[in-house]
Structure 1
């Protein structure tokens, strides 16, 4: 019913300032859902956003978040969040700490039972725990057992049995713990905020004969943007004038600058290093690649990982169980004859140490940190579930063309006959092929340019010989270039020793073209889709980090596929496959391996990507289809991002397990210490605060996981 209602309401997205704990996020979401006119609402804790289906004013939303003084801002509104000084942001906690210290000084003079120390400790508790008590008492009456409820009962209980000093210590340490939690979430979210600030808010635009600085919100598709050396690009577009090197690290994670010239695509947030560029804008500001990256990363943080879902479910039962156990410890032994004050104190200690702060924050902070780190390194992970699955990958299937190989043909060998130079022969071949539309022709032309060969000017009588090659007159001499079969039909022919050389080249996965006249063969030119420099090293690294099987899938013939597969060191080669064959193979592979990744371009391999456990698209910068369809998108056209992604995922899984185990271990240890009465209130809160701090710092270690540079991965020789 709610989904049906939601379909008939408008969707609004807002940013939320002050959202620091998962429990507060849950309460805020419930409060918003209860507002009149709201059909549904979902809080994205990692991105600090709320999506509202229905009609609600900002005032109503802020009232729903008044319990935490939350501020609500429309998603697209540009707001600079003011950073309060530490002393001002935590003024109550600092004053409470000073009063607590004064209380212990007075206690040393008047004794702990004195009226003055008790009043000082009481003031420390009220000032430092005022907001905590508000939430805790409200939740207690509503029978909502969260950490605020636990801490409120424990502190008031400590005061009731005369433990004013320990109650004050608990308030101060809890305030410190909350400050640490706020800091850790701010640190984890910084990766997203830094992305949001990458692109300039204004750009120099030429309209007609005038140049003016315009806000990016006012720039239209088709406008001409002028970018000077040393400036960042504000919008996506296509270069229409100029040549420069662009640092695309913000988009692809690669710091090596890329040369851009006329007709090349460029992205907002990238840095123009050298030349003056004129760029025709191709996308509105909300549709730029950097905007889509930010949106996808924030949405990814809203997707709960399986481990996070487990922790959330566990916490629902854990907190009431701790409450019940604490009541049992405080009441049952005294009813059996034990001292009331002693066992009430132990029950209060259990409430304090049972606070689930460390457990609740253990998973989301790890997920947010890992996804943010990946985005900064040019890898988009579309949700916690995909992050976890990537860490469990046991088999990786690669599309060949454009993934393991460069995706375009290159001249690999020139075999000259008759004493003429390679430069002269490639010049003749390129002069002819410039007029051809065949895919291999461009490889010959590129090779001639790389060699600096002079192209003959007089080319006449160009003619295509269907299915075999082409012929043309170059400087008055008739030349043929095409398959070996073409020359079998000419009087020139190919001698047996040369034919053996052709077979050798073909077994290496190369296509051989022959250049010659009607009388003689002048040269063999071998062309192949060459493998990427890093492909072999990446395959080796995948095996070293626990991937059991690597497979290359291609539509090429078996001989070519085997040659490239042997060169790369993949475990298996599947050739002559249609898209539906790749899909079927991925389905079969999943029956043998629990987690299978498919790496492709995100367009032609869409069925196979969808059928895999984790679909990974390469070279996704500027490719909307790849960004939308893949589970993980490697923004750079760089296969080395794949091992990095798997290492990051494995590290994240390990840290989540460490955090959960440590958090629960501390609780179990505390339970053991309660039995002999060794666990004091201040030690209990110190243990909980320490656990929160350790879990947070452990999660932030994910920021240190980096992509390996070329010095770590040896290129393929």
Structure 2
């Protein structure tokens, strides 16, 4: 790609691309490419001006090389990414806003009054018709008030006031529609496994084909390290499938011919050929996504609340207008009440406050899919945490090594790492990482390592047979014995950890404790959440009671439930809601998806299962649970701002009504001050809610 540098500071470049124009698809392709580069922290592309701003790590030369290496033809982008990027939609609404402002003030500044009056009269028909239709339904709501205010202004010849009211209403309508479509678009962009091509087995050959061409009954081969793209049945091969996202289990599960596999899980080792049960559009995984996408879940109740309040105030506005006319017989004073309606400020400031809060949340790596969830977050009193991958890091680590043959624990760990480094499963990696952390170097003295899928490994070192694996493999299959005098030590092994057993020449040599480490910030975050208004903190997990009890005690939850099924989590959430509580559910796995969907606010960890992120209403970064407390604080602050806006809108407009009725200001001045206060309140609604450093 050819470009010129327009501006730069350390770690940031702004360049201008040397091409005549840039399409939305080209901009999305470049965005996809830059987002996938390890040295690019963030990238912003302005397709209209052909400018690209990148924030990078590492050297300037490497960043420039990354930009130079880009080509549109050489970058493969998933179809779903291009189809749901939202770039074109955002441009459309930005243009609508700009055009509306330019047209409004252009007409006012450059056209004579006679032409402006005709344009205003024609535009008023839309609002008058809405008002008539609302009245025909037997309702006296905001459209009736809007129509009356605009209609009376036109009849009195006050075209400037009528035009200003319609302008503000139009801005509010655009922002409201944009907010909703953007929320739906954000959800659509996350709703894909982004697996474009798969290996199909045909006549003994592997053929790479588009995933969209797969039909039920096709044979698909999944190699080690790849995501399983479809629900299906294993027909050939043997492997370990990481189902932590599906069941919450931190240990991979053995899959052999006849076994069932699910979309979104990962072949951690081995290789599987599956017969596709259902294609991508109808699998269990996709069905959940479709259900959520088609729901009315994203409708913003905050905007609805504002409109409802505005509707409730309409009869009182008409009543006030009638009373003033009745007691004063002064049409001007009566119109002062009518000109100052509350709906403009309510309808305009509300979407701006919500959009601003969603934007601010994104600066903390929090993605919120609609204003409704910020309100629910503020009102929530119960929060439910999944354990694996949420309160813990879902990355097994070695907690301790217990020696049974008299050798030092570090020497036994070195031997275990020497064998385990040949295999990629998560518990083997934990052993190798711990040995590396302790700088336990080793030579390859053992013979070839034999791997028994789902059981363990076997080899020979210095003429002695060594086996490492599960209790079943070491003691039942291989008939290893506990050394004499060590039974009591074996019986006293901690129940808080998972275990790997290592035997040498048929005698137990070591037990390696494996733990799913707790997030360091978990206890502090729970404490903060309680201080922010959460009354009950619950932990639910599919793990054993001994592990769950230990974690619950350390982090300070109020209740915990162990060995639960996905439906148990969802049932608990429903019970809490029926008891009158607003419920937050935080999880990272497919097993959490029913509860995430059932909760008032479902929060997913960004590095968790794809389905969890799709179902969730909010996604937070994986590095720190602190973002949950930040989101709660942000939501509380948003609701405080909204309530403050309500008070200001009612107070200011009531004051204007009083001044108008008293004859101190005329209706045109009331309308001007009303519109000015609306813009002022709306501008204040766009400011950040939190001090970034404190958050």
Q: TM-score under structure 2 normalisation?
A: 0.59
Instruction: Indicate the SS of the match to 2:400.
Output: strand
Equivalent in the alignment of 2:681: 695
Residue 329 (str. 1) matches residue 335 (str. 2): no
Rounded to whole Å, the distance in 2 between the matches of 1:88 and 1:382 is 27
Could you report, residue by residue, the CA deviation over 1:248-270 in whole angstroms, capped at 9, with x for unpaired residues? xxxxxxxxxxxxxxxxxxxxxxx
Gaps of 5+ in 1: 1-73, 100-119, 160-166, 200-204, 207-218, 224-236, 239-282, 285-291
Could you report, residue by residue, the CA deviation over 1:478-530 in whole angstroms, capped at 9, with x for unpaired residues? 3455689959934454286x669x64xx26x2235454646987655321111
Residue 353 (str. 1) matches residue 344 (str. 2): no
Equivalent in the alignment of 1:308: 303
Equivalent in the alignment of 2:67: none
Equivalent in the alignment of 1:30: none
Equivalent in the alignment of 1:126: 117
**1:401 shift after superposition:** 1.4
**1:123 shift after superposition:** 5.4
Q: What does 1:105-184 correspond to in 2, within 5 Å?
A: 126=117, 129=120, 133=124, 135=126, 146=144, 149-156=147-154, 159=157, 167=158, 170=161
Instruction: Indicate the SS of the match to 2:581.
Output: coil
Rounded to whole Å, the distance in 2 between the matches of 1:680 and 1:416 is 91
Q: Is the 8 A contact 1:301 1:368 kept in 2?
A: no
- CA 1:586–1:304: 2 relative to 1, 3 Å: closer
Q: Is the 8 A contact 2:385 2:538 kept in 1?
A: yes
**1:551 shift after superposition:** 1.8
Residue 397 (str. 1) matches residue 397 (str. 2): no
- CA 1:388–1:185: 2 relative to 1, 3 Å: closer
Equivalent in the alignment of 2:200: none
Could you report, residue by residue, the CA deviation over 1:628-684 in whole angstroms, capped at 9, with x for unpaired residues? 433444464753332233233323322332223332333333343344323432441
Could you report, residue by residue, the CA deviation over 1:32-67 in whole angstroms, capped at 9, with x for unpaired residues? xxxxxxxxxxxxxxxxxxxxxxxxxxxxxxxxxxxx
Q: Is the 8 A contact 2:605 2:620 kept in 1?
A: yes
Rounded to whole Å, the distance in 2 between the matches of 1:426 and 1:698 is 61
Q: Is the 8 A contact 2:603 2:618 kept in 1?
A: yes
Q: 1:93 aligns with which of 82, 102, 105?
A: 105
Rounded to whole Å, the distance in 2 between the matches of 1:672 and 1:367 is 31
Q: 2:352 aligns with which of 352, 365, 368?
A: 365
**1:303 shift after superposition:** 0.6
**1:563 shift after superposition:** 1.9
Rounded to whole Å, the distance in 2 between the matches of 1:535 and 1:88 is 48
Rounded to whole Å, the distance in 1 between the matches of 2:604 and 2:97 is 44
Residue 530 (str. 1) matches residue 517 (str. 2): yes
Q: Is the 8 A contact 1:411 1:444 kept in 2?
A: yes
Q: Is the 8 A contact 1:432 1:462 kept in 2?
A: no
Of structures 1 and 2, the larger Rg is shown by: 1
Residue 662 (str. 1) matches residue 662 (str. 2): no
**1:405 shift after superposition:** 1.2
- CA 1:663–1:346: 2 relative to 1, 3 Å: same
- CA 1:673–1:155: 2 relative to 1, 3 Å: same
Rounded to whole Å, the distance in 2 between the matches of 1:538 and 1:583 is 23
Residue 596 (str. 1) matches residue 618 (str. 2): no
Equivalent in the alignment of 2:605: 618
Q: TM-score under structure 1 normalisation?
A: 0.57
Rounded to whole Å, the distance in 2 between the matches of 1:658 and 1:180 is 22
Q: Is the 8 A contact 1:96 1:128 kept in 2?
A: no
Residue 547 (str. 1) matches residue 538 (str. 2): no
Residue 648 (str. 1) matches residue 634 (str. 2): yes
Gaps of 5+ in 2: 1-83, 136-142, 191-195, 198-208, 214-225, 228-278, 281-287
Q: 2:562 aligns with which of 575, 584, 587?
A: 575
- CA 1:513–1:493: 2 relative to 1, 3 Å: farther
Rounded to whole Å, the distance in 1 between the matches of 2:454 and 2:357 is 55
**1:358 shift after superposition:** 0.8
- CA 1:386–1:629: 2 relative to 1, 3 Å: same
Instruction: Indicate the SS of the match to 2:663.
Output: coil
Equivalent in the alignment of 2:544: 557
Q: Is the 8 A contact 2:321 2:338 kept in 1?
A: yes
Equivalent in the alignment of 2:413: 426
Equivalent in the alignment of 1:459: 447
Worse-matched range after superposition: 393-402 or 481-490 = 481-490
**1:411 shift after superposition:** 0.8
Instruction: Indicate the SS of the match to 1:695.
Output: helix
Could you report, residue by residue, the CA deviation over 1:207-241 in whole angstroms, capped at 9, with x for unpaired residues? xxxxxxxxxxxx96699xxxxxxxxxxxxx99xxx
Rounded to whole Å, the distance in 1 between the matches of 2:509 and 2:447 is 18
Rounded to whole Å, the distance in 1 between the matches of 2:498 and 2:210 is 47
- CA 1:393–1:137: 2 relative to 1, 3 Å: closer
**1:476 shift after superposition:** 1.5
Could you report, residue by residue, the CA deviation over 1:177-209 in whole angstroms, capped at 9, with x for unpaired residues? 56975897799799889989x99xxxxx99xxx
Equivalent in the alignment of 1:259: none
Rounded to whole Å, the distance in 2 between the matches of 1:568 and 1:156 is 65
Instruction: Indicate the SS of the match to 1:459.
Output: coil
Task: Count residues in correspondence.
Answer: 517
- CA 1:178–1:97: 2 relative to 1, 3 Å: farther
Equivalent in the alignment of 1:12: none
Q: 1:474 aligns with which of 435, 444, 461?
A: 461
Instruction: Indicate the SS of the match to 1:530.
Output: coil
Could you report, residue by residue, the CA deviation over 1:581-618 in whole angstroms, capped at 9, with x for unpaired residues? 44454455446561222222342134444444433333
Instruction: Indicate the RMSD between aligned Cα atoms, in angstroms.
Output: 5.4
